[in-house]
Structure 1
């Protein structure tokens, strides 16, 4: 336990060496919002550009314009990586959603990519969250700085943009591919995946790894959110205020629309980024879908790659009723 927490704290020290220099706070105007209406989506107009052949795959990028424009042209153009099986007949479609402040897909790829490409042949899509990667504006200090911040409205609108655009992408896949849709989220991507599960009926399987539940809890109580909390407190925002303002982003406020037997939650017992108490709240509120609890910290994303891959892919195969290879 001590070793796991120490690794996380060292990583967090390094994380905060790069932090916001500008103040982001913006007040929040609270109006009653219907969740289904707020996150409503239609199919996106997706362009697929394939420019490389790898083994039995064609690799390239997908892109489309955001359905919820933020006003920043860089952020409002989505671009992700795509790997399509050349014999794309009823292949499952796996969408990977990355974590906060990641600046590449490498961590996720090192867990799943080669195993899927070499052994399974599934189609793979790597989705970029708002203000990350190529969507990061020039004035942003780090990837994801403008997605989650003390700007209360922008954080909610960024969440809405992420959810609506991801739902729109899923609708496009369902309209253009015949295989099931699987969504795998890691860290903040797990939170996004969980929120998607409460909204989208066209997702067949959900896997959420080292996920956050309530964004308000994560910002107020964990080390990654401490500087955002400081800025909020400087402007008189209390924890109760924040819970109210960001309630519409909480996955535990609703039951999943995905079959509970097709949901896998994976948590780290000693996680210093995402506290287990918050992860437990989601698990309980969803009436305990299958969960695996690892004896590690958040760094287990790197240290437990093989275990994460084996257990995740085994779970998916069973739900797809595919034999082990």
Structure 2
């Protein structure tokens, strides 16, 4: 089968025992693609970083107003200490408590376009999130997000179901179901026999609060504590999705995600042992290191930390709260596969290598493209298909 969106089929390869290939080991054609795609990614990264900087500005105003600066700085330091202390335990059950009750799911048929793309039965599902903020000081604020506290997903189901299910988590701002279905060639997997579920992250798509200037705005608009709680809710709500799938009879679930979705999928694989396989795609795993390269957002972060007199070590310790590098994976090594692009400058391949080292040097595949131009996608789709077949289908 060929993917629905044609892309150049320039082959990548699996990493060796030494890791990703050195530049000299690439062919001339591969080096050309890596270099040109990296330049394009830097331009895209600057655009997204500018958008994030604009998102962060309103939250910085109290830090520059003399009468509010002291209280705001003290609150931020207390929040950072809360997440740093929780991260230090390296206990996923404490950081990410499981949902206490199964969700009450509402399901309705999706539009005809979705069914035509999938080539089968498609349903939009929704249910009320049972998430409570991990930090008690933020629970009232998190409860006030009306739209965000309704979970949304799209479920592609075979009429003779249930089938082994491939779940996908989108990247930052990339929530539309149609876009993800085509970009990730999900009709390919559906025709291969999988049911498919597309999960909407907090503050994205239909979960964006009224007045949000773009999908995903709320993920970074409320400072570090807001990001930490958004990640906690992303994990919590997906675990409710697993409860729903199990209730419908699904007994095998594989999870993949791109960028922020790759970060989330890697974290979920360290929290819930019901995942049979996990495939983070161009994942970020250490956001504090990544933001350092994202101009102009990195300058605003430094200014905010300077004004609030925030210690860099405290920020790094708190960031580990939601990092998959802080927790042991629950998915067996032979069922972990990491995919990265050598020309990626939004989620640099060094981030994927950090996860590869933490995950005991599991299966690791690279392609000669960037964050959004997945050159050799047909190659890694075939790699994913071979990787999953042995334990998703008997």
- Both proteins in one fold, TM over 0.5: yes
Give the deviation of 1:150 after TM superposition: 6.0
1:32-54 alpha-carbon deviations (Å, 9 max, x no partner): 32531231113322222235674
* Aligned residue number for residue 304 of structure 2: 232
CA–CA separation in structure 1 for the residues paired with 2:131 and 2:181: 28
CA contact (8 A) 1:44 1:165 kept: no
Give 5+ residue unaligned stretches, structure 2. Answer: 1-33, 61-71, 133-141
Is structure 2 residue 365 aligned with structure 1 residue 257?
no
> Which residue of 2, 5, 10 maps to 2:43?
10
Give 5+ residue unaligned stretches, structure 1. Answer: none
Give the deviation of 1:144 after TM superposition: 1.2
1:216-255 alpha-carbon deviations (Å, 9 max, x no partner): 2222334585365245334333542321122111101122
CA contact (8 A) 1:23 1:231 kept: no
Change (3 A) 1:185 1:92: same
1:142-184 alpha-carbon deviations (Å, 9 max, x no partner): 2112213561111111111110111121122123223411111
CA–CA separation in structure 2 for the residues paired with 1:51 and 1:4: 35
RMSD (Å), alpha carbons: 2.4
CA contact (8 A) 1:28 1:245 kept: no
Is structure 2 residue 321 aligned with structure 1 residue 248?
yes
Is structure 2 residue 75 aligned with structure 1 residue 40?
no
Q: Which one scores higher on RCO, CA 8 angstroms, separation ≥ 6?
A: 2
Quick check: which one's strand share is greater?
1
Quick check: which one's helix share is greater?
2
CA–CA separation in structure 1 for the residues paired with 2:223 and 2:149: 18
CA–CA separation in structure 1 for the residues paired with 2:272 and 2:300: 30
* Aligned residue number for residue 24 of structure 1: 59
CA contact (8 A) 2:148 2:209 kept: yes
CA–CA separation in structure 2 for the residues paired with 1:35 and 1:23: 32
CA contact (8 A) 1:65 1:76 kept: yes
CA–CA separation in structure 1 for the residues paired with 2:363 and 2:296: 27
Is structure 2 residue 131 aligned with structure 1 residue 59?
no
Is structure 2 residue 335 aligned with structure 1 residue 281?
no
Range moving further from structure 2, 6-15 or 252-261: 6-15
Q: Any idea what SS the aligned residue of 1:81 has?
A: strand
Q: Any idea what SS the aligned residue of 2:124 has?
A: strand
* Aligned residue number for residue 388 of structure 2: 316
Give the deviation of 1:266 after TM superposition: 0.5
CA contact (8 A) 1:75 1:131 kept: yes
* Aligned residue number for residue 92 of structure 1: 164
> Which residue of 186, 205, 217 maps to 1:145?
217
Q: TM-score normalised to the size of structure 1?
A: 0.89
CA–CA separation in structure 2 for the residues paired with 1:265 and 1:3: 23
Greater C-alpha radius of gyration: 2
Q: TM-score normalised to the size of structure 2?
A: 0.74
CA contact (8 A) 1:28 1:153 kept: no
* Aligned residue number for residue 136 of structure 1: 208
Give the deviation of 1:270 after TM superposition: 2.6
CA contact (8 A) 1:190 1:210 kept: yes
CA contact (8 A) 1:219 1:228 kept: no
The count of residues paired between Structure 1 and Structure 2 equals 319
CA–CA separation in structure 2 for the residues paired with 1:4 and 1:305: 14
Change (3 A) 1:164 1:207: same
CA–CA separation in structure 2 for the residues paired with 1:142 and 1:243: 28
